[in-house]
Amino acid sequence: MTREAEIAWLAGIMEGEGSFGAVSRGKSEYAPRVALCMTDRDVVIRAFEIADCGRIYGPYEVLESNVGPGPFKKRYQWIVQGKEAIAFMELVLPYMFERRATKIQEILSVYEELEFRKTLLYKFWSNVVQVDSCWAWQKDKLSLWHETKRSPRLLAFDLCGLERPGRSVRDVCGNSKCVNPMHMEAGNALNRS
């Protein structure tokens, strides 16, 4: 089998038997998850080998079923989580039918947005030095403009989840480098009272 045929085969299995989801805890924790649960051990192992990520769990005893009385075959589960799950979803997405594809795209876009926010938080705080209660911005005011289209002061309101007092803000602490939202009021430097 060519690599492409392997991926198409795996996508077909996942279309029928797999599940794509994400566990979210609070606002910042979002854990994408791919799982395949089957009684066919060889198929689960083949899926794991082709994808080359995640882990196989089992065998699990199946004690009850709504299909009918037992005994039941043991089940095996292949689970991929986090970044690897995202990479796997991107890999099989082109082969998926609409319903699954929509679900996968949804997960990918939420994940991407959260990753962007994390990166932005990191960039923001690595440019700030705390001086007393002031947050002194270390770079020029346009340094995160390319990503965010806003000044560091307004960005601080957004990252802290605070409502901006106006379209532009000025400091009340007298520190022209300060970006602490608690030290801001509506207005600009020209009409300082």
Interacting residue ranges for Zn ion, rule: CB under 5 A? 134, 173, 175, 178, 180, 183
3-state secondary structure of 97: coil
CA atoms within 13 A on the CB side of 182: 5
Containing H/E element for 189? none
Extended beta strands in the chain, E state: 18-25, 29-38, 55-60, 75-81, 128-131, 134-137, 169-171, 184-186
What's the min distance (Å) between Cβ of 190 and Zn ion?
19
Q: CB under 8 Å to 79, separation ≥6 — which residues?
A: 33, 34, 35, 54, 55, 57
Cβ distance to Zn ion smaller for residue 107 or 134:
134
What's the min distance (Å) between Cβ of 148 and Zn ion?
21
Cβ distance to Zn ion smaller for residue 102 or 130:
130
What's the min distance (Å) between Cβ of 179 and Zn ion?
8
Cβ distance to Zn ion smaller for residue 38 or 169:
169
Cβ distance to Zn ion smaller for residue 89 or 169:
169
What's the min distance (Å) between Cβ of 144 and Zn ion?
19
